Structure 1
């Protein structure tokens, strides 16, 4: 069996690596070709070109690289046609992956195609599903409510579980050691500040999150703050937080981030997958997010749901307070954080929603990568 895989970002690289490992365990002898990063390389993939060339987001970032990306799309599609794989498996990064799939299908309508990570058509732009169905045969969904949207558009789809349920978590001992290392008392309140992983998010949300936490500190003078971040924005975060009235602890290494999540009493976080990471560590949270005036105006008109927080959506509750767009203000977020600290009922409601969320995402069951491999094999046998 030969599979052609394409991943364009670090998250997709992890999904691809887990899928490759499971395919080797479950399937016949498999040959992998395509585009991926270091995780997939660890499973034996020799990438056609560096995956980092595809990790660009936003109009300002894409425009200067448009010609190069267009060339890579054509080059990748030609490589798929030359390889004649049993399936083309594209992983997230729809702007690149689905353009490749369209060229591949045009050259060979019979080529089987799988896309890993369903587009969030339940939130906005529902027409994307029908457009994707023109070039994708089968979808691997991360969220349990996504398959009906995909099948309605004409694709087969399996819910395979979210990778967050397979991520390692820090033990109580590691959490206690984290507090001891940074001289945070066992009863001292500890808050996480998570303003995002992209430069624009950090610049926009960082100062607001800081002010919200400063207001919380007025009521909780012993409050300590940790900012877990990623390497790509670590310098920006350190430079920014050094100017805050009370400089927080900044951590970058994965093991330190896991320990911080386990040690924290609550978190103020940007909207996104981080809400699931906090749920996995049972850390109560408040969500805040804003974009530029024009972007938010467009997004708010297109949204089809009343909450964007995945914990709320998966658990079918509204336990996690969120402050989006014009509502993303320090005073309101500070009040919500204080309520989380002072109200056992609000914390219990969140913890219950988190338990439901993790169970529905596949916690305690077969690993998502293995479920994805089973889905691919079943699709190819049909």
Structure 2
């Protein structure tokens, strides 16, 4: 039987990995899987080499104290791959870790597929030469990414964005048990980003009208932090995917950290505002190297600011509140966002089938 080694570096990659395994098994039941994953991949019978949460770090400064531990884990995965000799290595997102692993594995003669194209269009485009030496194919989520890598002779398959398979698109407001006006609050899935955003998001919630109910989206890696947090008023937590989807469908608006969560809200048709903060040193570095107009993929794909972005120094309770109140109180402002979401999501569909199915077909083609 063929062994496919999959390495996912964080929570979002864990979801992609689980869907990929399911789609591959549906086409080739004899495949076996090993590597690194989280709770979602575990539901597919996947046994991870170690806890994926060890890699859930964000920011240059935050990574430095963990360098030795990350290096040991890299050695562990490299040795395991050398011993098992899989037919293929699939690395999922987290390029700072997974592409370093790919560089070690490539000389073994094992083909490497990287799932989720590194965002060269956002920063450090010069990385493309190194990537070309480390991977045999890239599975891209965004339609404009293929030409960037093809210019460096890296084969690319546009598989569509996995957010289209999210439960968020199938929520039912009538299943959500709370009838008050609600605000979805999603401060992230990494402990560093959550610790920075919690005070700002908490004060923003305090400034909302008295009848607004905060609904906190939990993520496995930071669930304990969010459950213990005091929001200054009664709050509801949601964790299971369909529970979140129903909450999205019932909510008036969302206060969401920059990242995939914004696309998730767009799929659900949830008007929202994006906030994000970084460690001050990381923030200074990022300002110098990032070369895109927007942080949100919704806005990048729309080529205009559909969703308000309040980042770094602009991420304050005052500004977040001013951006949220029109969405909570004004149906027209919310509908303008929803119309933009419809245009954006149409660009994220693969030629046929679901994104996980397109990714599985590409992986089987490599096998």
Q: Secondary structure at the match of 1:287?
A: strand
Greater shift, 129-138 or 358-367, is seen at 358-367
Q: CA deviation at 1:158?
A: 1.0
Q: Secondary structure at the match of 1:356?
A: helix
Once residues 124 and 236 of structure 1 are traced to their aligned partners in structure 2, the CA distance between those partners, rounded to angstroms, is: 31
2:168–2:244: 8 Å Cα contact kept in structure 1? no
Establish whether residue 37 from structure 1 lines up as the match of residue 17 from structure 2. Answer: no
Q: Out of 314, 327, 331, which is 2:314 matched to? A: 327
Establish whether residue 215 from structure 1 lines up as the match of residue 185 from structure 2. Answer: no
Once residues 100 and 320 of structure 1 are traced to their aligned partners in structure 2, the CA distance between those partners, rounded to angstroms, is: 36
Q: Secondary structure at the match of 2:124?
A: coil
Q: Secondary structure at the match of 2:207?
A: helix
Q: Alpha-carbon deviations, 1:37-92, whole Å to 9, x = none?
A: 34434444444445444444556665555444323323432333344433221122
Once residues 345 and 258 of structure 2 are traced to their aligned partners in structure 1, the CA distance between those partners, rounded to angstroms, is: 18
Counterpart of 2:221 in structure 1 is 232
| Alpha-carbon RMSD | 2.7
Tell me the TM-score normalised to structure 2 length: 0.88
Classify 1:214/1:371 alpha carbon distance in 2 versus 1 (closer, same or farther; 3 Å): same
Counterpart of 1:317 in structure 2 is 304
Counterpart of 2:252 in structure 1 is 265
Once residues 80 and 238 of structure 1 are traced to their aligned partners in structure 2, the CA distance between those partners, rounded to angstroms, is: 38
1:119-158 alignment runs, 5 A limit: 119-158=118-157
Q: Out of 170, 173, 176, which is 1:175 matched to? A: 173
Once residues 225 and 45 of structure 2 are traced to their aligned partners in structure 1, the CA distance between those partners, rounded to angstroms, is: 34
Counterpart of 1:12 in structure 2 is 13
Counterpart of 1:291 in structure 2 is 278
Tell me the TM-score normalised to structure 1 length: 0.85
1:190–1:265: 8 Å Cα contact kept in structure 2? yes
Once residues 35 and 212 of structure 2 are traced to their aligned partners in structure 1, the CA distance between those partners, rounded to angstroms, is: 48
Q: CA deviation at 1:34?
A: 3.0
Classify 1:338/1:364 alpha carbon distance in 2 versus 1 (closer, same or farther; 3 Å): farther
2:58–2:193: 8 Å Cα contact kept in structure 1? no
Once residues 65 and 291 of structure 1 are traced to their aligned partners in structure 2, the CA distance between those partners, rounded to angstroms, is: 18
Q: CA deviation at 1:289?
A: 1.3
Establish whether residue 70 from structure 1 lines up as the match of residue 71 from structure 2. Answer: yes
Q: CA deviation at 1:160?
A: 0.8
Classify 1:176/1:335 alpha carbon distance in 2 versus 1 (closer, same or farther; 3 Å): same
Q: Alpha-carbon deviations, 1:8-41, whole Å to 9, x = none?
A: 3332232222222222333484333333334434
Q: Secondary structure at the match of 1:123?
A: coil
Q: Secondary structure at the match of 1:241?
A: coil
2:293–2:300: 8 Å Cα contact kept in structure 1? no
Q: Secondary structure at the match of 1:286?
A: strand
Q: Secondary structure at the match of 1:6?
A: strand
Q: Secondary structure at the match of 1:196?
A: coil
Classify 1:223/1:363 alpha carbon distance in 2 versus 1 (closer, same or farther; 3 Å): farther
Once residues 379 and 118 of structure 1 are traced to their aligned partners in structure 2, the CA distance between those partners, rounded to angstroms, is: 17
Once residues 298 and 151 of structure 2 are traced to their aligned partners in structure 1, the CA distance between those partners, rounded to angstroms, is: 25
Q: CA deviation at 1:309?
A: 0.8
Classify 1:325/1:177 alpha carbon distance in 2 versus 1 (closer, same or farther; 3 Å): same
Greater shift, 2-11 or 289-298, is seen at 2-11
Once residues 28 and 256 of structure 1 are traced to their aligned partners in structure 2, the CA distance between those partners, rounded to angstroms, is: 31
Q: CA deviation at 1:286?
A: 0.9
2:57–2:191: 8 Å Cα contact kept in structure 1? no
Q: How many residues align?
A: 366
Establish whether residue 241 from structure 1 lines up as the match of residue 241 from structure 2. Answer: no
Classify 1:63/1:281 alpha carbon distance in 2 versus 1 (closer, same or farther; 3 Å): same
Once residues 133 and 363 of structure 1 are traced to their aligned partners in structure 2, the CA distance between those partners, rounded to angstroms, is: 24
2:273–2:309: 8 Å Cα contact kept in structure 1? yes
1:166–1:363: 8 Å Cα contact kept in structure 2? no
Q: Secondary structure at the match of 1:154?
A: coil
Q: CA deviation at 1:237?
A: 2.6
Q: CA deviation at 1:310?
A: 1.3
Establish whether residue 361 from structure 1 lines up as the match of residue 348 from structure 2. Answer: yes
Greater shift, 262-271 or 72-81, is seen at 72-81
Q: CA deviation at 1:363?
A: 8.1
